[in-house]
Homo-oligomer: A and B are copies of this chain.
Amino acid sequence: MENRTEIGSLGEFGLIEHLTKNFETHQVSTVVSVGDDAAVIDHFGKQTVVTTDLLIEGVHFDLMYTPLKHLGYKSVVVNLSDVYAMNAIPTQITMSIGISNRFSVEALDEFYEGVYAACEKYQVDLIGGDTSASQKGFIISVTAIGEVTPGKFVKRSTAQKGDLICLTGTVGGAFLGLTLLEREKKIYLENPQVQPDLENESYIVGKLLKPEARKDIIEFFEKNDIVPTSMMDVSDGVSSEVLHLCRQSSLGCRIYEEKLPMAEEARAAAFKFGLDPTTCALSGGEDYELIFTMKQEDYDKITLQEEIAVIGYMTDLEEGKKILTKGGNTFDITAQGWNAFQK
């Protein structure tokens, strides 16, 4: 970076103006945008969907291997993913950041380039936020807002016995990208002369650093008149999310190991790191795919959609939450729970 402009030289309002001056609005629902006490949205008879996420440096991301532009992009995408997971279309976001003065205006510009790219790609408007000093580290808080035709939203708690469990795309890649980058970071810290070789690993690194939200699948549902019976996005890992759907719907499930969709690049990386691919697919988080259930009679509607795999079905609660392995064994599904506080 050639220039370094101190954040303090702009002041709060100068900074907000600087960061948001190139944002154009895409949505007719955006009535009042950045620059007032609050933004105003008119969803014209549709229901409004709201979700929020807090991302903290050192907890959710590591700036040692996360480019700021990617971080900006991902901060938006992970929130949009939650809106899609309600079978809704995201329309606006607010973005608040807390920054220490080790960040320059140029660094924030990079971050906002990523925010801007995600807003463009998903056609959402940045309508507000807050810019604050932090005592330590970079803090990001995003709220995403969307719209859904009244009653068409899809919750986690409404799966029925016999429903097919479906998964979009592939899983495990982001976790393997994280494993690789953490390994390279450790090598670098021990010996800064060694340059990381990420050449052949762009797939898994990309899955971690620049995930996409499954807008295409929600559009596919709309076009093919599919309303899933329950749905959520895969942020913590497939097994964790399957257990959520079961618990919130008061059902059990049967999952087939051989049906878990995994990219060849991710499978190869798992072998290289001496990890079990299935464990990566089940417990690796941050893939931002969608997991959903649907009625068996809708199966014909998805057979030609390569981005959707049927991985199992819902059962009675009493039948438990089981996975059937390739070897023919049956195990209970366990979640590698979120446990940042017990680390």
**Chain A residues in the interface with B (C-beta under 8 A):** 6-8, 11-13, 31-32, 35-43, 45, 47-60, 82-83, 85-86, 88, 92, 94, 96-98, 101, 127-130, 132-137, 139, 141, 143-146, 148, 150, 153, 155-157, 231-233, 248, 337-342
Given contacts A48-B48, A50-B145, A59-B98, could you give 18 more A-B pairs where the C-beta distance is less than 8 Å?
A6-B341, A11-B338, A37-B51, A37-B156, A38-B50, A38-B146, A40-B148, A52-B143, A53-B96, A54-B97, A54-B98, A54-B132, A56-B98, A56-B133, A56-B134, A59-B132, A60-B132, A139-B139
Does B39 contact A50, Cβ atoms closer than 8 Å?
yes
Known A141-B96, A342-B8; contact A31-B51, beta-carbon cutoff 8 A: no
CA distance A6 to B35 in the complex (A): 41
* Residues in B whose Cβ lies below 8 Å from that of A145: 48, 50
CA distance A60 to B294 in the complex (A): 47
List 22 A–B pairs whose Cβ atoms lie within 8 Å, in order of A's numbering: A8-B339, A11-B338, A12-B337, A12-B338, A32-B155, A35-B156, A37-B156, A38-B50, A39-B50, A39-B51, A40-B86, A40-B153, A48-B48, A52-B141, A54-B98, A54-B139, A54-B141, A55-B132, A56-B132, A59-B134, A94-B143, A135-B136
* Residues in B whose Cβ lies below 8 Å from that of A48: 40-43, 48, 145
CB nearest to A90 among chain B residues = B38
A51, A134, A143, most chain B CB atoms within 10 A: A143
Does A32 contact B153, Cβ atoms closer than 8 Å?
yes
* Residues in B whose Cβ lies below 8 Å from that of A231: 37
| Of the residues B32, B37, B45, B83, contact of A82 by C-beta under 8 Å | B37
CA distance A150 to B150 in the complex (A): 19
* Residues in B whose Cβ lies below 8 Å from that of A12: 337-340
Closest 3 A/B residue pairs (Cβ): A8-B341, A38-B51, A141-B141
Known A52-B94, A94-B143; contact A47-B38, beta-carbon cutoff 8 A: no
* Residues in B whose Cβ lies below 8 Å from that of A54: 96-98, 130, 132, 139, 141
CA distance A84 to B82 in the complex (A): 28
| Of the residues B36, B57, B101, contact of A341 by C-beta under 8 Å | B101
CA distance A58 to B141 in the complex (A): 18
CA distance A72 to B150 in the complex (A): 33
* Residues in B whose Cβ lies below 8 Å from that of A43: 43, 48
| Of the residues B40, B52, B96, B342, contact of A49 by C-beta under 8 Å | B40
- Closest chain-B Cβ to A315's Cβ sits at a distance in Å of 22
Does A129 contact B38, Cβ atoms closer than 8 Å?
no
CB nearest to A39 among chain B residues = B50
Does A127 contact B50, Cβ atoms closer than 8 Å?
yes
Does B50 contact A92, Cβ atoms closer than 8 Å?
yes
A11, A141, A339, most chain B CB atoms within 10 A: A141
* Residues in B whose Cβ lies below 8 Å from that of A139: 54, 56, 98, 139
Known A53-B96, A127-B50; contact A58-B155, beta-carbon cutoff 8 A: no
- Closest chain-B Cβ to A137's Cβ sits at a distance in Å of 6
* Residues in B whose Cβ lies below 8 Å from that of A38: 49-51, 82-83, 85-86, 88, 144, 146
CB nearest to A127 among chain B residues = B50
- Closest chain-B Cβ to A103's Cβ sits at a distance in Å of 10
